[in-house]
Amino acid sequence: MNLQDLLKKIEEKTYTVGIIGLGYVGLPLMYTFHKEGMPVLGFDIDKSKVSNIQSGTPYIKHLGQEMMQSLSQSDRCAATTDFSRLTEADAVLLCVPTPLNQYREPDMSYVISTTETVAHHLREGQLVILESTTYPGTTEEVMIPLLEKHSGLIAGIDFYVAYSPEREDPGNPNFNTAKIPKVVGGHGEDALQLAQALYDTAIVQTVPVSDTKTAEAVKITENVFRAVNIALVNELKVVYAKMGIDVHEVLDAADTKPFGFMKFTPGPGLGGHCIPIDPFYLTWKAREFQENTRFIELAGEINTHMPQYVVEQTTKALNTHKKAVNGSKVLLVGLAYKPNVDDMRESPTFELFHLLEELGADIAYYDPYIPTIPPTREHAHYTGKQSIEWNQETVAGFDAVLISTDHSDIDYAQLAEWSDCIIDTRNAMKSVTPKNGQHIFKA
Ligand SMILES: NC(=O)c1ccc[n+]([C@@H]2O[C@H](COP(=O)([O-])OP(=O)(O)OC[C@H]3O[C@@H](n4cnc5c(N)ncnc54)[C@H](O)[C@@H]3O)[C@@H](O)[C@H]2O)c1
């Protein structure tokens, strides 16, 4: 099938979009294409995700029931663990994890194994797009050689390859997948045209760039920008606190400047699958060019120190109440890495757990989004731990309450009624005036 025929198929919405990796990125992406009338076919090695899609059972809380039901009830949607069905897809979009390994270097194993699987089923005319965040050069240097080697086909002649970073912001009520412009870089003009035509069916705007490595660099740049700016406000928070200045008041006032300033918010450290990790993909790649990424390293240093700073503030808070950390009961409020989602990957709350326990504190947590801590590779010993019940008797039984994530459905005024010692890393208590003898510490 030639390019014109493929473009026509997209236009007629008979072009099947295959998505590999049905997590925080892949699931809403599949839904976005499906909503616009495209046939979709989801793949995952995780059987439970596949059966949840088939039965319409939500497995990512903020995405809700409606999305799952519309997918499960549709004859244009299927989910499977059978990768031989990849041949049914016209495009194959890869949304698999790109974590760091134990040496904080890119762990490309998911991208490599998925690409190999795709390569074994690759057929002429297929479009393969990597959406996972990665270092510039991945598509050209890692993916294309594997696709060509295992299929015997040639990229740009027999099949098409593109890179388009996912910019999903889970839980953001203003921007879902369809509303976020999509940057696209193609391996050649035809691949770019095809990928653009595909995204144009479902996404508000596509932004073409010269090639795949430029598109890869765009995503990394966005996340480096966030990591560096978050580190900056975290540093300012520490300095201003010593000067008796409230950093949040400063940032809110600075944010009234209509140009030249963008507000970032300090917190207990960096969390999530992206910001603490992605910048180090560039750090690693830069070494190949004998270059250092000093801003990224410094930002990493400041951000990873934040939980330690919060623990120091917690120690001081308990001290004000003539209590030691050792033996104190401390409640951590919010386990997710950001408000209103159930995603706890890289959450700094785990580090707070760990550091405070090391000092002898007795720790519990409350998170309405994470009633029980599921199994994780990094925090296996917390598996099965349960969120406390949110009531006065339980909360008042803690010597200190440390707010690490400001979920919006928590009643912070009520919390102020229940606890005399609150350490607030998110400015969640901003509208609460402390009572006599009560201390609300900003950390
Ligand atoms: N979560 C975000 O907010 C976000 C935002 C932008 C970009 N990204 C990037 O998108 C990519 C995916 O992130 P995510 O948050 O969706 O991850 P996720 O862990 O939620 O989902 C990944 C899915 O891939 C599946 N998977 C793993 N190996 C597989 C394989 N070999 N074959 C098929 N499926 C496989 C997993 O079972 C899982 O369901 C990452 O590169 C991430 O950096 C994430």
What average pLDDT score do residues 339-367 get? Answer: 96
Mutation to probe ligand 1, out of 95, 115, 117 (largest number of atoms < 8 A from CB): 95
Q: Whose CA is nearest to atom 43 of ligand 1?
A: 133
1 pLDDT band, cuts 50/70/90, is confident
- pLDDT tens for residues 126-154? 999 999 999 999 999 999 999 999 999 99
Pairwise CA distance, residues 287 & 416, whole Å: 50
Specify the pLDDT at position 63. 87
Domain residue ranges in the chain: 3-210, 279-442
Q: Whose CA is nearest to atom 25 of ligand 1?
A: 21
Specify the pLDDT at position 106. 97
Q: Are 388 and 366 in contact (CB under 8 A)?
A: yes
Domain 3-210: state its class.
alpha beta
Pairwise CA distance, residues 243 & 258, whole Å: 27
Pairwise CA distance, residues 336 & 330, whole Å: 17
Distance 273 CA to ligand 1 centre (A): 9
Distance 272 CA to ligand 1 centre (A): 12
What is the number of other CB atoms lying within 10 angstroms of the CB of residue 245? 13
What average pLDDT score do residues 178-190 get? Answer: 97
Q: Whose CA is nearest to atom 27 of ligand 1?
A: 96
Q: Whose CA is nearest to atom 26 of ligand 1?
A: 21
Mutation to probe ligand 1, out of 24, 29, 129 (largest number of atoms < 8 A from CB): 24
H helices of 164-288, where? Answer: 189-200, 212-242, 247-254, 279-287
Sign of CA dihedral 113, 109, 271, 130: negative
Mutation to probe ligand 1, out of 120, 273, 280, 347 (largest number of atoms < 8 A from CB): 273
Mutation to probe ligand 1, out of 25, 29, 48, 345 (largest number of atoms < 8 A from CB): 25
What average pLDDT score do residues 200-223 get? Answer: 98
- The share of the chain scoring above pLDDT 70, in percent, equals 100
Distance 53 CA to ligand 1 centre (A): 16
Write down the pTM of the prediction. 0.94
DSSP 315-349: HHHHHHTT--STT-EEEEE--SSSTT----TT-HH
Per DSSP, 150 falls in state H
- pLDDT tens for residues 281-324? 999 999 999 999 999 999 999 999 999 999 999 999 999 999 99
428 pLDDT band, cuts 50/70/90, is very high
Nearest-atom index, ligand 1, CA of 134:
41
Distance 82 CA to ligand 1 centre (A): 18
Using only C-alpha atoms, the chain has a radius of gyration, in whole angstroms, of: 24
Q: Whose CA is nearest to atom 21 of ligand 1?
A: 23
The secondary structure element, H or E, covering residue 424 is: strand 421-424
* 3-210 and 279-442 share one fold: yes
Q: Whose CA is nearest to atom 11 of ligand 1?
A: 132
Please list, residue by residue across 178-202, b when 16 or more beta carbons sit within 10 angstroms of its beta carbon and e when fewer do. bebebbbbbbbebbbbbbbbbbbbb
- Comparing C-alpha atoms, which of 384, 371, 426 is closest to residue 401? 426
Nearest-atom index, ligand 1, CA of 21:
24
Nearest-atom index, ligand 1, CA of 278:
43
Q: Are 17 and 177 in contact (CB under 8 A)?
A: no
Pairwise CA distance, residues 113 & 150, whole Å: 12
Nearest-atom index, ligand 1, CA of 170:
3
Per CATH, the number for 279-442 is: 3.40.50.720
Ligand 1 pocket, residues with Cβ under 6 angstroms: 20-26, 43-46, 49, 95-98, 110, 113-114, 132-133, 166-168, 170, 273-274
User: In the chain, what is the straight-line distance between the N-terminal and C-terminal CA atoms, in Å?
Assistant: 60
Pairwise CA distance, residues 212 & 129, whole Å: 10
Pairwise CA distance, residues 321 & 316, whole Å: 9
Specify the pLDDT at position 170. 84
Beta bridge partners of 330: 363, 400
Distance 110 CA to ligand 1 centre (A): 9
DSSP 27-85: HHHHHHHHHTT--EEEE-S-HHHHHHHHHT--SSGGGHHHHHHHHHT-TTEEEES-GGG
Q: Are 58 and 68 in contact (CB under 8 A)?
A: yes
Pairwise CA distance, residues 333 & 387, whole Å: 9
Distance 22 CA to ligand 1 centre (A): 7
Specify the pLDDT at position 437. 78
**3-class secondary-structure state, position 417:** helix
Catalytic sites, residue numbers: 274
